[in-house]
Amino acid sequence: MCDLRLPEGVSDRSGDTANGVALDLADAVAGFLTARLREAPRASLVVSGGSTPLPFFRALSGKDLDWGRVDVLLADERWVEENDDASNTRLVRENLLKNKAASARFLSLKQPGATPSEGLERVKAELADLALPIDVLILGMGNDGHTASLFPDAPELESAMNPECQEIVAPATPASQPQKRITLTWPPLRDARFTALHLKGEDKLQTLDRAMSEPDKVLEMPIRAFLKPGLQVFWSP
Ligand SMILES: O=C(O)[C@H](O)[C@@H](O)[C@H](O)[C@H](O)COP(=O)(O)O
């Protein structure tokens, strides 16, 4: 257990090791996708980049489910080419879209264009037939309280977090980050059927604790918007 008092309705799925939590998360996600595929022609899986998800990606890639009917996409992406070490697309292709998951359909947030704004229409076209609501959403969190690329210092944050935002994807240009980014906006993320927050390390636990201390100040720590009933927290030391 993560020995934090999580908000009402938020489940603690913490474990003693990063690998154990990754395996547990992979089991939960595979189970949810399998159940969805009994009811719907396709299912959607939105994952986050960064370093935490790697063991989860590798475990999920081996799960036996009808991957040909699963749409996989990122919650956000750095606006870099796929051969760049900072590319989340590269991370997903190398660690998740292999083994049994190789047959999943990947919808890429990185499209041609010098900037996210220039490429935005192409990204929207790529996501045009993505069925909403998202079925499975895996979020990470930075120690500034960002999630996806909803950064506190992004000039676009307020519009991306607006519950009335009509766009499902938007550029993000936080000064704190070396690359411009593109991110799913709050409404599609908010409405996911299954949302997991995947965290590793004591620092992330302290950040989560800080986030819970002032839950209404969402623009200061965007993760706060997700600390709602139904969220499952998968944390390991
Ligand atoms: O592109 C990104 O950076 C991610 O989407 C981002 O939201 C990530 O989930 C957090 O920054 C946590 O990253 P770590 O897992 O590396 O701590």
pLDDT in tens, 142-174: 999 999 999 999 999 999 999 999 999 999 999
Which residues, including other chains, have CB under 8 Å from residue 84's CB and lie 6 or more apart? 78, 90
The band of 4, judged by pLDDT with boundaries at 50, 70 and 90, is confident
Mean pLDDT of the chain: 97
The band of 5, judged by pLDDT with boundaries at 50, 70 and 90, is confident
User: Would you state the pLDDT for residue 2?
Assistant: 64
User: What is the C-alpha to C-alpha distance for residues 202 and 237, in angstroms, rounded to an integer?
Assistant: 6
DSSP H/E element including 44: strand 43-47
The band of 1, judged by pLDDT with boundaries at 50, 70 and 90, is low
Supply angle C-alpha 18, 30, 88, rounded to 5. Answer: 60
The full set of domains in the chain, from first to last, is: 18-235 (3.40.50.1360)
Distance from the alpha carbon of residue 141 to the mean position of ligand 1, in angstroms: 6
User: Would you state the pLDDT for residue 149?
Assistant: 98
Q: Is the pLDDT of residue 227 over 80?
A: yes
Over residues 28-66, the pLDDT tens digits come to: 999 999 999 999 999 999 999 999 999 999 999 999 999
Mean pLDDT over 117-125 rounds to 98
Distance from the alpha carbon of residue 48 to the mean position of ligand 1, in angstroms: 6
| CB of residue 76 inside a 6 A radius of ligand 1 | yes
| CB of residue 147 inside a 6 A radius of ligand 1 | yes
| CB of residue 50 inside a 6 A radius of ligand 1 | yes
Distance from the alpha carbon of residue 102 to the mean position of ligand 1, in angstroms: 23
User: Would you state the pLDDT for residue 3?
Assistant: 75
Q: Whose CA is nearest to atom 3 of ligand 1?
A: 50
Distance from the alpha carbon of residue 204 to the mean position of ligand 1, in angstroms: 11
